[in-house]
Structure 1
Amino acid sequence: MPEPLCLIENTNGQLVANPKALKILSAISQPVVVVAIVGLYRTGKSYLMNKLAGKKKGFSIGSTVQSHTKGIWMWCVPHPEKSNHTLVLLDTEGLGDVEKGDKMNDTQIFALAILLSSTFVYNTMNKIDQRAIDLLHYATELSNLLRTISSPDLGGIEDAADFVSFCPDLVWTLRDFYLALEADGQLITTDEYLENSLRQKQGTDPSVQNFNLPRHCIQKFFPTKKCFIFDLPTHRKKLAHLETLRNNELDPDFVQQVAEFCSYIFKHSKTKTLSGGIKVNGPRLESLVLTYVSAINSGDLPCMENSVLALAQIKNSAAVQKAMAHYDQQMSQKVQLPTETLQELLDLHRASEKEAIKVFMKNSFKDVDQSFQKKLETLLEAKQDDFCKQNLEASSDRCSALLRDIFGPLEKAVKRGVYSKPGGHHLFIKKTEELKAMYYREPGKGIQWHLRRQRLQRLKHRGWRQFKGGTNE
């Protein structure tokens, strides 16, 4: 391709795949390395993509406050370092265009870029802040939702290794960076700055959970992460003509930073891969484009007003399941029925319940009215009742079995009349006390051990009837 071509047109919020671009993809038999870039409009995304293409011009670089790129544009070039591979560059419409004012359309394009890429470049200004983290988190959640409702063959990834291979690498680029790379008085690398920004806090209160959730999701979705910072390229008055400036007219640090960025992308960007390790070529990438655009246009994705609610339903239902699975695992490891006392069982339940709630809090998402947490508490209460019932039954079965084993021979002896003789009652009482002591010494009887009183009382009366009128003893 001598120049970029629009891959996905965005007209009045409707996304349409461009047949000309799809025809180009369908002719690429080689595996593809797909690098997509997303960020706010007027932040220099297109400049970086042109550099990756090895050109000064190509993707539109605007010099005014108006966004130039609309939809998603594609440029397919030979990969400079991977032989027999095609480098597919995707430049996206800038987020937050005031002339468009459609947040849902923004996040749809954001999610498409994530789903189509093998390396995803997130281009932000100045520093990593909460707004940028929240936006990236929401786009990853929307990507998961979009992948799930698409074709099962393309979206159904259950195996952890498959999921990792499917997820793109994250390259976070910070333009016009002005902060000192220091933490606690020590110099840090750009990658350490990124990791620090995504580090979770300790604690379980709602404010900490809200802080941790987007960071946890981003860390999980992007196993491989890299960060690059860029100084201001040149004097602000010259930025309008950036694509025409020679390297000696640019800030030397900026030139070096761009070179390092390009080198990393060329060396480390992986081939786009589907579930099962299937490497994507042009026709498969074409299929992905059509699948995801169709899913968006079908209306299966929730509108902006309902999307957070839909994501919360999905995330929180899964969080409840994870919490209950953790509870079951903990109880199966800790509890040996029957327990000696009811309090012992309740203590084990409460410890497992506490851990289960922690698991839920870690994985929940905007459970504002705590409806899912209340559902979890109800399920845990039912589990406690069930364990108490099982504990009674296990104890009763254990005690009954012990009584049969220990006193069974005595009952048979009584029936045979062994003790129906002078002095027999005394021998019977002595034997009964010996067997009672043996019963008491047996461990693991649980909370129903007092059942022996009823059984032993019956034995005593039965034995007494054997001797009634038979002896003076």
Structure 2
Amino acid sequence: MACGRLMSAPVCFIENDENGKMRVRKEAKGILDGINEPVVVVSVVGLYHTGKSYLMNRLAGQHSGFALGSTIESKTKGIWMWCVPHPNKNGHTLVLLDTEGLGDVEKGDEKHDTWIFCLAVLLSSTLVYNSLGVIDNTALEKLHYVTELTENIRVKAKVGQHEDESADFMRVFPSFVWAIRDFTLELKRGDKLITSDEYLEGALKLKPGSSPLTVQYNLPRSCLRQFFAVRKCFVFPRPASTQNMRRMEQLTEKELESEFLEQANTFCCYVYNNAEPKTVTGGRTITGTALGNLAEVYVEAIRSGNVPCLENAVVSLAKIQNVRAVEEALQLYMIEMLSMAQLPMRPEELSDIHTESREEGH
């Protein structure tokens, strides 16, 4: 991780302040500021107590790190971050974001859940949606956050009255991975065996018709199809007995079900090989420093009651980087001037040193 610190454990990235408004933690921002190489950002979202954190720990190559919840209380609050050297891509950092579980009854704040989901989409190059059981209508209704993306995210600063942003979303949104946990069904359609990807695409098929019920049925499916160009599905059997599930962090790989372990390894390999470096509008790859700046821009928009806009964020990012470049050039100029100028000296000598130092600053 070039110029960055190797993190032995995750830190809180985005949290709520004492007034209930989101903010970026300075510690996390400082860590990202030290990463001057491209980042591959993988976020996991989903209902609380569905095993999101365990998957992220495996991606980090660790048994523990992100907190696992074995009680009825939701464990992860806000968005937590773990930066590790990318196992497959030299010169890249893998940034793992574990998000607060959606639908926590104690919290009961749907708007907060919506912003958590939106930030995961905005900051990621790959978004993992984690759920239990099967992909059915109930599961898709619980993913209603995807139907609200057009209301809560803007790609362009100005959108025409009749302009559809779906194509823009598809260009800038992350790839989408649906991880289905505790899957007990046989992957078959009729008498034919199917892949998990075929299972997902079959579940996203639209119904013909325009009745209110049909429109409601099709909405989350059409949003997933329109917004996320790359879609992948993994089905995980139950990893262990109910009793052992309460101590997942302590279980050795020998104590896990072999089928679960095999699928978990396949999932990790897919993410390592296919998750792309994070880019912004225009296809420009960003560093950890830029990722931290982006997070601050998006969070500030939410704090101000505005809708995060990708185009505005890129403009803000350029301004931040330009200011930093000027500051660094000025600092280098001052160092050169102070090291070379020995006062008193003739004006023409000072002018020559000024010219040389200015060129160094460029």
Normalised TM-score (structure 1): 0.60
Q: Identical aligned pairs, as a percentage?
A: 49
Larger Rg: 1
C-alpha distance in 1, partners of 2:147/2:292?
23
What SS does the corresponding residue of 2:129 show, helix, strand or coil? Answer: strand
Deviation at 1:167, TM superposition (A): 1.1
Matched, 1:99 2:106: yes
- Alpha carbons of 1:4 and 1:246: their partners in 2 closer, same or farther (altered >3 Å)? same
Unaligned ranges ≥5, structure 2: 1-6, 309-362
Quick one: which of 26, 30, 51 aligns to 1:19?
26
1:59 maps to 2:66:
yes
Q: Cα 1:234–1:211, aligned 2, differ >3 Å: closer, same or farther?
A: same
Q: How does 1:118-267 map to 2 (within 5 A)?
A: 118-136=125-143, 138-148=144-154, 163-267=169-273
Separation in 2, partners of 1:292, 1:27: 20
* 1:334 match: none
In the alignment, what sits opposite 2:51? 44
1:325-348 residue CA offsets vs partner (Å, 9 max, x unmatched)? xxxxxxxxxxxxxxxxxxxxxxxx
C-alpha separation between the residues in 2 aligned to 1:144 and 1:78?
34
- Map Cα deviations across residues 48-71 of structure 1 (whole Å, 9 max, x no partner): 100000111111112111111100
Deviation digits for residues 249-308 of structure 1, max 9, x if unmatched?
Answer: 111101101000000000000111111111121122112211211121112359xxxxxx
* Distance of aligned partners of 1:260 and 1:175 in 2 relative to their CA distance in 1, 3 Å threshold: same
Q: 2:115: which partner in 1?
A: 108
Q: AA paired with 1:49?
A: M
Counterpart of 1:64 in structure 2: which amino acid? T
Gaps of 5+ in 1: 303-473
Contact 2:45 2:52 (C-alpha < 8 Å) held by counterparts? yes
Q: 1:33 to 1:230 in 2, by over 3 A?
A: same
Query: Shift in Å at residue 143 of structure 1?
Result: 3.6
How many residues are aligned here?
Answer: 297
Displacement after TM superposition at 1:164 (Å) = 3.6
Matched residue type, 2:72: V
Aligned counterparts of 1:34 and 1:52: Cα–Cα separation in 2: 12
Structure 1 residue 21, shift from structure 2 partner: 0.4
Residue type of the alignment partner of 2:287: N
1:270 aligns with 2:266: no
Q: Which amino acid aligns with 2:135?
A: I
Partners in 2 of 1:285 and 1:239 — Cα distance? Answer: 35
In the TM superposition, residue 163 of structure 1 has moved relative to its aligned partner by 4.4
Structure of higher RCO (CA pairs closer than 8 Å, 6+ residues apart): 2
The range that moved more, 260-269 or 125-134, is: 125-134
**Are the equivalent residues in 2 in contact too, given 1:41–1:93 (CA < 8 A)?**
yes
Structure 1 CA distance for aligned equivalents of residues 165 and 248 of structure 2 = 46
Superposed CA offset, 1:138-167 (max 9, x none)? 423444443328978xxxx99988644411
* Preserved CA contact (<8 Å) 1:46 1:59: yes
Change (3 A) 1:291 1:276: same
Does the residue aligned with 1:148 lie in a helix, a strand or coil? coil
Contact persistence 1:165–1:274 (CA under 8 A):
no
Distance 2:37 2:165 in 1: 26
Q: Residue deviations 1:214-257, cap 9 Å, x none?
A: 21111011110000011111111011111111111111101101
**2:326 counterpart of 1:296:** no
Could you tell me whether the CA contact under 8 Å between 2:45 and 2:98 is conserved in 1?
yes
**Secondary structure at 1:200's aligned position in 2?**
coil
**Cα deviations by residue, 1:60-94 (Å, 9 ceiling, x for unpaired):** 11211111110000000000001111100000011
> Could you say if the C-alpha distance between residues 16 and 123 of structure 1 is closer, same or farther in structure 2, counting changes exceeding 3 Å?
same
Contact 1:151–1:291 under 8 Å retained in 2: no
C-alpha RMSD of matched pairs (Å): 2.2
- Give 1:296's aligned amino acid: I
Q: 1:142 to 1:150 in 2, by over 3 A?
A: farther
Structure 2 CA distance for partners of 1:158 and 1:278, relative to 1, 3 Å: farther
Equivalent residue runs for 1:380-395 within 5 Å: none
Q: Report if aligned partners of 2:154, 2:307 keep a CA contact under 8 Å in 1.
A: no
Which has the larger helix fraction?
Answer: 1
Give how far 1:128 is off: 1.1
TM-score (norm 2): 0.77
- Does 2:292 match 1:286? yes
Task: Report what 1:466 is aligned to.
Answer: none
Residues 162 and 276, structure 1, Cα contact 8 Å, conserved in 2: no
Aligned-partner residue type, residue 178 of structure 1: T
Q: Distance in 2 between matches of 1:255 and 1:36?
A: 21
Helix, strand or coil: the match of 2:41? strand
